[in-house]
């Protein structure tokens, strides 16, 4: 994979089924409905998984062989298409969590993008129109346009050719073993997306395997700089150690934290290397004078087995308390998390006596979720309650609409 945020990679190729649109279960259900009616038999998911990432033609060829369907194929294909239409009319096109946000975020950053899917072109165009993503893609290429289906590299080479780019300058996002193998055979970098609805897929040949699409943006584009009226949020730098020490050596800052005051510049340098550099943590810098005043970050919530959830964490130097800086910084990070990364839930925890942190989260509109009694320990060994607040993506959108008077 190219380096994060290095600017070397400018073309992203998306598979559709299982990456942009949650359709694999629909295909499985529709095929089984047709098989049950035609031959009184159905397939299990283990059998179907071999077709994930492949074309309809390849799928029907295998079904005709294994279910003795050769003399019924034309009628079964028609029935299958009708069944898919019925399901879509009932359920609509369901996006994979975080997919629309990821596509729009990459488009705003100037990346060239294309859909390279084994599905028929009419299904690709219908799905992208339904999700409102058509304008984001420079090309949409169907496996029916390629000489050989995935895992052959034809579709990805064809897409790169139509885009006028080198395969070496492309990264493919795929959820299937067939797709990953095709991308690597085409000479492209590949991110494997482990989608539970795509079944067990061997994604090991991919350059990187992720559990959620909300992780893709940082892997491709790095941690962005965010701006507010008074603040600049940027990645930490090596030369932040002295400023970090000036803030984190204050015992008052650490009273309500699980880490103690830094006792030397060397300790701050170590924290910079191990905690801040190269992570999803922003340095909070005052625009007025360029001074580092705190930090805010996003991490996995260890209490939730949900790869599309993130946990908000932050601290602010004591000289800057009571001025609304952290609420301003946290609002910017929350907007980025929901609108750009496409996370589905944001949580935050504070020790029960930390009323300053409580007020920040309440100003953000986060909802009280629960209190874990004796669930936390401060750096000096005091046991305290851990309080959790959270906000779902739907709640965030609703709060924005309410604040704007329903005009968003």
Query: Band of the pLDDT at 190, cuts 50, 70, 90?
Result: very high
Question: Tens of pLDDT along 252-309?
Answer: 888 878 788 999 999 999 999 998 998 899 999 999 999 999 999 999 998 898 999 9
Is a pLDDT exceeding 90 seen at residue 28? Answer: no
Residue 263: name the closest of 241, 283, 248 by CA: 248
Rounded Cα–Cα distance for residues 331 and 288 (Å):
19
pLDDT, greater one: 2 or 83: 83
pLDDT of residue 218: 86
Rounded Cα–Cα distance for residues 259 and 272 (Å):
14
The structural domains of the chain, with segments of one domain joined by +, span 1-222, 226-403
pLDDT of residue 403: 86
DSSP assignment letter at 272: I
∠ Cα 391 394 395 (to 5°): 45
Is a pLDDT exceeding 50 seen at residue 188? Answer: yes
Facing residues of 116 across strands? 141
Number of C-beta neighbours around residue 392 at 10 A: 16
pLDDT of residue 8: 47
Collapsing DSSP to helix, strand or coil, 81 comes out as helix
May I ask the CATH class of domain 226-403?
Answer: alpha beta
Question: Tens of pLDDT along 115-125?
Answer: 999 999 999 99
Question: Tens of pLDDT along 327-384?
Answer: 999 999 999 999 999 999 999 999 988 999 999 999 999 999 999 998 888 888 889 8
Number of C-beta neighbours around residue 164 at 10 A: 10
DSSP assignment letter at 319: G
Q: What is the residue-wise DSSP string for 28-40? A: HHHHHHHHHHHHS
Q: How far is CA 115 from the centre of its chain?
A: 17
CATH 3.40.50.1000 is right for the domain spanning 1-222: yes
pLDDT of residue 375: 84
Tell me the mean pLDDT in the region 303-316. Answer: 93
Rounded Cα–Cα distance for residues 301 and 366 (Å):
16
Asked if 67 and 47 touch (Cβ cutoff 8 Å), the reply is no
Helices 325-336, 355-363: inter-axial angle, 10-degree rounding = 50
Query: Band of the pLDDT at 52, cuts 50, 70, 90?
Result: confident
pLDDT above 90 covers a percentage of the chain that reads: 64
Facing residues of 209 across strands? 192
Rounded Cα–Cα distance for residues 100 and 374 (Å):
40
Q: How far apart are the first and last CA of the chain?
A: 37
pLDDT of residue 3: 44
Number of C-beta neighbours around residue 356 at 10 A: 13
Rounded Cα–Cα distance for residues 37 and 45 (Å):
18
Is a pLDDT exceeding 70 seen at residue 9? Answer: no
User: How is the beta sheet containing 345-351 ordered, strand by strand?
Assistant: 226-227, 231-235, 281-286, 291-299, 309-316, 345-351, 383-392, 367-377
Give me the chain's average pLDDT, please.
90
Cis peptide before 151 (omega within 30 of 0): yes
Collapsing DSSP to helix, strand or coil, 357 comes out as helix
């Amino acid at each position: 994979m190219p380096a994060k945020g290095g600017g070397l990679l400018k073309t992203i190729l998306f598979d559709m089924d299982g990456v942009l649109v949650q359709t694999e279960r629909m295909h499985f259900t529709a095929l089984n409905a047709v098989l049950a009616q035609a031959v009184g038999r159905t397939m299990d998911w283990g059998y179907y998984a071999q077709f994930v990432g492949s074309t309809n033609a390849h799928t029907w060829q295998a079904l005709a062989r294994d279910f003795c369907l050769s003399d019924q194929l034309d009628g079964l294909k028609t029935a299958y298409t009708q069944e898919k239409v019925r399901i879509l009319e009932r359920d609509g096109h369901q996006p994979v969590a975080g997919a629309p946000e990821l596509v729009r975020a990459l488009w705003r950053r100037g990346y060239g993008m294309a859909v390279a899917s084994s599905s028929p072109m009419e299904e690709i165009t219908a799905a992208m129109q339904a999700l409102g993503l058509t304008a984001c893609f420079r090309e949409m290429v169907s496996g029916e346009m390629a000489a050989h289906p995935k895992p052959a590299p034809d579709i990805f080479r064809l897409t790169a050719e139509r885009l006028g780019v080198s395969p070496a300058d492309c990264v493919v996002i795929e959820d299937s073993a067939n797709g990953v193998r095709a991308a690597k055979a085409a000479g492209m970098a590949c991110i494997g997306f482990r989608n539970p609805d795509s079944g067990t897929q061997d994604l090991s040949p991919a350059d990187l395997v992720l559990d959620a699409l909300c992780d893709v943006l940082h892997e491709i584009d790095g941690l962005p700089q965010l701006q507010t009226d008074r603040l600049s949020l940027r990645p930490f730098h090596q030369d932040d150690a002295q400023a970090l020490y000036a803030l984190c050596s204050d015992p008052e800052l650490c009273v309500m934290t699980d880490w103690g005051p830094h006792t030397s510049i060397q300790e701050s340098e170590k924290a910079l290397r191990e905690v801040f550099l190269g992570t999803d943590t922003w340095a909070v810098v005052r625009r007025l004078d360029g001074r580092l005043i705190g930090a805010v970050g996003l991490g996995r919530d260890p209490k939730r087995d949900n790869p599309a959830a993130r946990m908000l964490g932050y601290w602010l130097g004591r000289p800057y308390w009571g001025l609304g800086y952290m609420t301003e910084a946290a609002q910017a990070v929350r907007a980025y998390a929901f609108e750009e990364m496409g996370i589905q839930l944001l949580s935050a925890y504070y020790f029960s006596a930390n009323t300053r942190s409580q007020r920040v989260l309440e100003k953000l509109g986060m909802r009280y979720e629960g209190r874990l009694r004796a669930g936390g320990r401060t750096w000096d060994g005091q046991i305290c309650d851990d309080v959790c607040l959270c906000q779902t993506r739907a709640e965030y959108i609703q709060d924005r609409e309410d604040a704007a008077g329903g005009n968003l």
